[in-house]
Amino acid sequence: MEEEVSGGGMVPSGGVPGERSQVLIPRSHLFSRLALFDLANPVAETWFGCVFGVVGAGGSVYSHAATGDSATAAASVRKTVKMSEICDFIPYGDADGASEVDSPVDSLGSVESAVPCEEMQETPDYIRRGAAPRHKMAPVELFSGPSSPQDPPPPPERGAAAAGEEGTAHIGRAHEIEAAAGVTEQGGRLHAEERQSDCCGQLKQQYGLLLREKEECRRLLEDLMRENEVKTRECREAQKTLHDMKMELLRKSMHVGSLVEGQVKEKSRLCQLLNELSEKFKVLKLEHQNLRQESLEYKNCILDATQMSTSIQEYVNKYANLECEFKDLKEKFSEETKERKDLYNKVIELKGNIRVFCRCRPLNADEVAVGASTAIDFESAKDGELIVRGHVSSKKVFKFDSVFGPEEDQEKVFERTAPFATSVLDGFNVCIFAYGQTGTGKTYTMEGIEGARGVNYRTLEELFRVIKEREGIFQYDITVSVLEVYNEQIHDLLLVGSQPGATTKRLEVRQIAEGVHHVPGLVEAQVSNMNEAWEVLQTGSKARAVGSTNANEHSSRSHCIHCVMVKGQNLLNGECTNSKLWLIDLAGSERVAKTDAQGERLKEAQNINKSLSALGDVISALATKTQHIPFRNSKLTHLLQDSLSGDSKTLMFVQISPNENDVGETLCSLNFASRVRGIELGQARKQVDVGELSRYKLMVGRAKQDMKDKDAQIKTMAETIQSLEAKNKAKDLLTVNLQEKIKELESQLLVERKIARQHVDNKIAQDHLQKQHNMKDEKWCMRSPMAERNLNSTAEKLAAPRDFGIAKQMFSDSNSENYSFKQLMSLGEEKENNPEAGQLPPSKARRLSVCNGGTRQHQPTDPASRRKSLIPLPRRNSLMPLPMAKPLAVATPPPLDKITEHLSPPMCSPPVVSTTRLAGTRGSTASCAEAFRRK
């Protein structure tokens, strides 16, 4: 189906962009020249179509774009096509080249003739060439048809005015050509042959040219066609791509639609979800707020907790500190308690009471065998208390310094006993004794057994340990004696032959000094170490009287006494001590009826009880502070007098039996021990060796006296020294004054000597002259031999004028007081330095001999005599003024013999005034005195 397009052209309907379009143009509208344009709009987005141009009656060629749906393509391109261009395209209506025309005349008929050669030639190459690319896309098949004169002129378009003008010009020319062609047709018949021959040549030429041009155009067209093909293909591809894209777009739009639908659903779902979520969010927000609030609260709580933990930590620290303090306080308390106890003990000790330790033995095998029960309660043993349960549910509490139960071993017991051992070495008398019912363990406590040594052994051990410890500071001599009181007799157990039962020498207790009792004749074994001491003790113990009783198989039938005498000397201060350690194992008190003793055992028991009774009496007397203490009622108390009367430190072990059957004896013993504990003996006294002390005291007294004497001597000496120093000072002062005086006198003397000498010389010279005059006068009367006279006169002439001149001058000077002291001094010095100058020259001597009648007169050497006899002292004021000297009354020189001590150094040397030491000046003063004496 074909549609008529504006401008008279028919455009095949349903033209697809990019596809070949055929425009059917009625032949009436085609004037012979048509231009085919590629109306592809390069800016069209979708497709482009073909445009055909119609040369209207006005001579304009209008281009109409058959555009698809693009508005931009609607802007038709209007072109004014030259005839040459139209001709160029006519043979190529078929884009594929299939309808190729051999000649344009064939297809266009008379058109070819209507084409003016000039116009063809005028057609510029660039148009032709530039047209090529424009015709690539749409080859057109032209059909001739009636042209429509009613073709409306193209609408005036903005921007196409210029093209319209140009097009008008061309159309005008084409019209001319058309007219010419019509003339040709009409006149051709008339002048065909004439004009044919003329034009034929021209046409042939033009035709040749056109052919060439055609060839060129063909080539161009081919290029354009190829290009067009390429473009077409590209367009097709593009169209295809576009189509694909459209399809894709469609598909996608569909997909999008489905997606959108889904999305809408999703959206609604999401909206719902969002709503739910927003609800949830609101809830969560609320929860968050709540949580935030809570967190704030928790934060505050944490702060509070931190503060609390800090305060708790502080409290913990405080608690720890308090605990530490409490611990410290506890320790301090325990220390204080201990100290208090010690102090209490010390107070007790100072009070001087006897310390009592109670020890209970365990039930022995027999007692255990008979099922004996214990009557002693040791619950408060640590506090020194024990409770004795009586038969009738009565209890009695006893308090002692220490209580040792049956389980306490020897070591524990000795721990509390050890300080007593040290006290012995410190010079105190110590008495340790064990008291108690027979068979209660007295011997066990004191001596012990193999493997469980008792107090005796351990005390000695401690003694020697401390002695070793104090080595170099103290020196000790230890002697040991062992004796027993058996049947009120003292036996020395160290004597040879003192075996049990053997008759030994009886010993007595004697008082050798105030408060010192001794057993004369007692063997004292010197020991230097523990082994020796123990050996001695064992020897004595073996000799002890032991018997078997009902109560004890090996019952001690005597009081065994070990005496350790300690002589100590402090090597630092020389202090000596004499102390004693009594270690007494008393015989056990027993009820004769109970033990059923008979014979010797009975006698022993009676003596034992008697001595123990005496001990009880003494204790009672001491406890009640009775004036008379019955020490001498028994040998035992007599021996222990020193220990019980106050000088000693006494320790009593009260031994008891745990057996319920022995409660009576136990109570007796404990009561006795309690009484003993209450005794105040007074402060223990150190047993300083008196002899040594007095000797030292004497020595000290002597030394003190010596010191006093020495002090007095030193004092007097110091006083003497002081007075001597004062004297020395005065003498030094005097010496200085005297030295000054002496100097003055010396200078005076010197001057006087010189002057005197001058006087003497002058006098002699005058005398000599006088004599010469006299002699001359005599010669006149009595002529002398010439030789002699000449000789004398010559000598006189030589000597006299000079001496006389000088002397005369000096004398005159002296008289006139014009010569100076210096001159005199120099003169004097000259003469003194040259002794010969002081003497008279030979001529003078001769003169003297002449004066004295030829006999040589002895020159007096003593200047004093000369001065006395000849020379008056020169007036002092004629010389230098003398230095100021103290008046003699003030510094009167002492007598010569006294001066010897105090005079200054000799005049030849200046005095050295020394006020420091007397001795230093003594030498100088002596020499000074000597010089003065010589003077």
DSSP reduced 3-state for 892: coil
Nearer to ligand ATP, 541 or 814 (CB): 541
- Span 883-912, contacts to ligand ATP by CB under 6 A: none
Binder of ligand ATP out of 76, 440, 498, 607 (CB under 6 A): 440
The 3 state secondary structure assigned to 170-197 is HHHHHHHHHHHHHHHHHHHHHHHHHHHH
Residue of 402, 552, 579, 650 interacting with ligand ATP (CB under 6 A): 552
Mask for 581-620, x = binds ligand ATP (CB under 6 A): ------xx--------------------------------
611/924 with CB nearer ligand ATP = 611
Amino acid letter, 364: N
Residue 361 within binding range of ligand ATP, rule CB under 6 A: yes
Residue (554 or 702) nearer to ligand ATP, CB: 554
Report the residue number, 115 or 551, with the smaller CB distance to ligand ATP: 551
Q: How far is Cα of residue 573 from the mean position of the Cα atoms in its chain?
A: 48
Judged by CB under 6 A, does residue 556 bind ligand ATP? yes
Please state the closest distance from residue 491 (CB atom) to ligand ATP, in A. 17
* The pair of three-digit structure tokens given for residue 537, joined into one six-digit string: 């003790």
From 134-142, 219-227, 553-561, 780-788, give the range in contact with ligand ATP by CB under 6 A: 553-561
Find the shortest distance in angstroms from Cβ 435 to ligand ATP.
9
Q: Is 439 in the site for ligand ATP (CB under 6 A)?
A: yes
Contact of 504 with 498, CB cutoff 8 Å: yes
Rank residues 442 and 635 by Cβ distance to ligand ATP and give the closer one: 442
Min separation Cβ 439 and ligand ATP, Å: 5
Rank residues 658 and 906 by Cβ distance to ligand ATP and give the closer one. 658
Q: Compare residues 5 and 381 and give the one whose CB is closer to ligand ATP.
A: 381
x/- track of binding to ligand ATP for residues 386-425 (CB under 6 A):
----------------------------------------
Q: Is 555 in the site for ligand ATP (CB under 6 A)?
A: yes
Annotated binding-site positions for ATP: 436-443
Contact criterion met (CB below 8 Å) for 837 and 757: no
Total interface residues for ligand ATP by CB under 6 A: 19
Residue 154, interface with ligand ATP (CB under 6 A)?
no
Pick from 168, 364, 645, 792 the residue near ligand ATP by CB under 6 A: 364
Residue 554 binds ligand ATP (CB under 6 A): yes
Q: Is 655 a binder of ligand ATP (CB under 6 A)? A: yes
For 557, 604, 825, the CA distances from 499, given in Å and listed in that order, are 14, 17, 122
Give, in order, the Cα–Cα distances in Å from 831 to each of 271, 357, 801, 835, 870: 158, 119, 20, 6, 20
The residue whose two tokens read 């034929």 is: 200
Neighbours of 78 (CB within 10 A): 22
Partner residues linked to 437 by β-bridges: 589
Known binding residues: 436-443
Asked if 438 is part of the footprint of ligand ATP (rule: CB under 6 A), the reply reads yes
Relative to beta strand 395-399, strand 385-389 is antiparallel
- Counting contacts by CB under 6 A, is residue 657 touching ligand ATP? no
CB contact at 8 A, 33 and 53: no
Distance of alpha carbon 80 from alpha carbon 73, whole angstroms: 19
For ligand ATP, which is the closer residue by CB, 123 or 438?
438
**Burial degree of 756 (CB within 10 A; 0-12, 13-18, 19+):** buried
- Considering the complex, state which of residue 206 and residue 438 has its C-beta at the smaller distance from ligand ATP: 438
User: Can you read off the two tokens belonging to residue 618?
Assistant: 């003494």
Backbone φ/ψ region at 368: left (φ over 0), alpha (ψ -120 to 50), beta: alpha
442 contributes a contact to ligand ATP by CB under 6 A? yes
Told to check if 443 binds ligand ATP by CB under 6 A, we report yes
- The DSSP bridge pattern shows strands 576-585 and 429-436 to be parallel
**Out of 31, 444, 457, 534, which residue is the one contacting ligand ATP (CB under 6 A)?**
444
Give the contacts of 500 (CB within 8 A, at least 6 positions apart). Answer: 543, 544, 545, 546
> What gap in Å lies between CA 304 and CA 324, rounded to an integer?
29
* Interface ranges with ligand ATP (CB under 6 A): 361-362, 364, 436, 438-444, 449, 552, 554-556, 587-588, 655
